[in-house]
Amino acid sequence: MTTTIPSWTSATFAEDVREHLARNLTQDQLRAILADESRPADERFTCLYTLLQDMHREEREAEYRGLVTRYEPEFGSNPYYGTFRAIAAIGDGTSVTRLRQALRHSRQAIKSLGDRPGVWHQYAALYADLGDLAPDLVTPAELGFALDAVDTALRTSTRDNPNFHFTRARLLHLGGRIREALTEVQVAIHYQEARTPGGVRRLARYEALRARLLIDRQGSDLLAQMAQTKAAVDTARGDQVQLLGVLAAVIALITTAVTVATRIDVSDGVPLILVATGSITIAFSCLMWAGGVRSVWRLVPGVVLGLLMCLAAIHLVGLVDLTSWVHQLGGLAPGTMPSPTSGTGG
C-alpha cells in the first residue's frame, strides 16, 4: 500500500504527518526518501519534518541540529525552517541566551505560518522553558503573549492536543494561577494516550507538574491560613491592650472615688460614689463590647443603669432638677401634683 506524503502547504500538515506518515514509514524509509534527490522537493521536505519531529520527541538534540544544518542550504527558505532553527538553538536548555534566540526564530515562524497551531504552540512552550529556567525574567507582557499563543493553538487545532494543555498549565503556573494550572494539567493527563509515540514520557512529565502544583497549592493555602491567624492574633492583642487600659482606668477611678469619699461629708460623698459606680458600670459594658459581645440588648441594661446613676448624682448636687423632668414627662407642671386625699366628692 502506497503511503501518501502530505504537503507542507496544507493547513493540517502537522496532523496529517502524525496520523499517516509517521505511523506508516520507519525512520530508515524517511531517510531514504529524503536522500533521494529525484523525489519532489515537497515530499523530501515532509520526510525531513517528520524525522526532526521524531528526534525532538526522543530528545536527540545533537542529531537534530546536525540534520537541520545539513539541509538548511536546500530547504532553509521554507517557512517551517524557522521552527527547526528554534529547536536547534535551544541546545541543552540551560542557556537563557539560546532560549531567547530560539524565541526569536519561533516568532519569525509565526509571521509566516500564523494559521498553524503547532507553530503558535512552539513559541508558548519555549517561553515556558525560559520561565522554568529563569523565573525572574518573566514579564507580564511576554507571559501574556505566550498565553495568547497557546490559546490560539488550542482554538485552531483540530483536536484536544494534551501537549498544548500541558504548556498552558506551565504558563499559568508561571503566572501564579496555580488552581487554573492544576485544572489544565488534569485535562492534559486525561487526553494523553500512553500508547502513542512518547506517550509514557509525556504522561510522566504531566504527572510531575501535577504533583508540583499540588504542593504549591497546599503551600499557598498554608500561607493564607498563617496570614489569617496572624491577623487574628494581632487583633486579639490589640483588644487585650485596650481592655487592660480600660480596666486600669476603672481601677484608678474606684481608688480615687473611695479615697475622696472617706475624706468628705456623706452628703457630698454619695453623689461621688454614684458617679463612680455609674462610670464603672458603663466602662464594663464597653469591656463586654470590646470582648466580643455583639448583642446590643445585653449591653443596654448596664449602660442605662450607669447613666441613671450619673444623673442621680448630678441631681443630688443640684446641677439638674430631675423632679421637674419627671413632671414634664408626665404632663404635669411643677407644683400641681394632686394630693393623695384630693377627690371629687363633697
Q: CA neighbours within 13 Å on the CB side: how many for 85?
A: 19
Q: Which residues neighbour 135 within 8 Å (Cβ) at sequence distance 6 or greater?
A: 174
The answer to whether 132 and 114 are in contact (CB under 8 A) is no
**Amino acid 242: pLDDT:** 63
Nearest CA among 171, 174, 104, 168 for reference residue 135: 174
Model confidence band, residue 333 (pLDDT cutoffs 50, 70, 90): very low
Determine the Cα–Cα distance for residues 89 and 69; give it in Å rounded to an integer: 11
Model confidence band, residue 221 (pLDDT cutoffs 50, 70, 90): confident
**Amino acid 245: pLDDT:** 65
> Is the pLDDT score of 343 beyond 50?
no
State pLDDT tens for residues 109-158. 999 999 999 999 999 999 999 999 999 999 999 999 999 999 999 999 98
Q: CA neighbours within 13 Å on the CB side: how many for 164?
A: 22
Region of poorest pLDDT, from 98-102, 104-108, 233-237: 233-237
Rounded to an integer, what is the distance from CA 231 to the centroid of its chain?
19
293 compared with 25, residue with greater pLDDT: 25
CATH annotation of 13-222? 1.25.40.10
Model confidence band, residue 232 (pLDDT cutoffs 50, 70, 90): confident
Q: Over range 45-65, report the average pLDDT.
A: 91
Q: Over range 226-240, report the average pLDDT.
A: 74
Q: Over range 43-68, report the average pLDDT.
A: 91
Q: Over range 49-53, report the average pLDDT.
A: 92
Neighbours of 18 (CB within 10 A): 18
- Measured between alpha carbons, how far is residue 99 from residues 78, 82, 86, 138 in Å? 22, 14, 8, 13
Which of 13-17, 221-225, 334-338 is modeled with the greatest confidence? 13-17
**Amino acid 345: pLDDT:** 46
> Is the pLDDT score of 106 beyond 60?
yes
In degrees and rounded to multiples of 5, residue 2 shows phi and psi of -80, 135
First to last CA, the chain: 137
State pLDDT tens for residues 159-214. 889 999 999 999 999 999 999 999 999 999 999 888 877 788 889 999 999 999 99
The set of cell numbers assigned to 335 is 407644683
**Amino acid 169: pLDDT:** 96
Model confidence band, residue 59 (pLDDT cutoffs 50, 70, 90): confident
The answer to whether 181 and 212 are in contact (CB under 8 A) is no
The answer to whether 178 and 155 are in contact (CB under 8 A) is no
Q: Over range 67-89, report the average pLDDT.
A: 94
The set of cell numbers assigned to 99 is 532560549
The answer to whether 35 and 64 are in contact (CB under 8 A) is no
> Is the pLDDT score of 289 beyond 70?
no
Residue ranges of alpha helices (H) inside 157-198 are: 162-174, 178-191
State the chain's mean pLDDT as an integer: 83
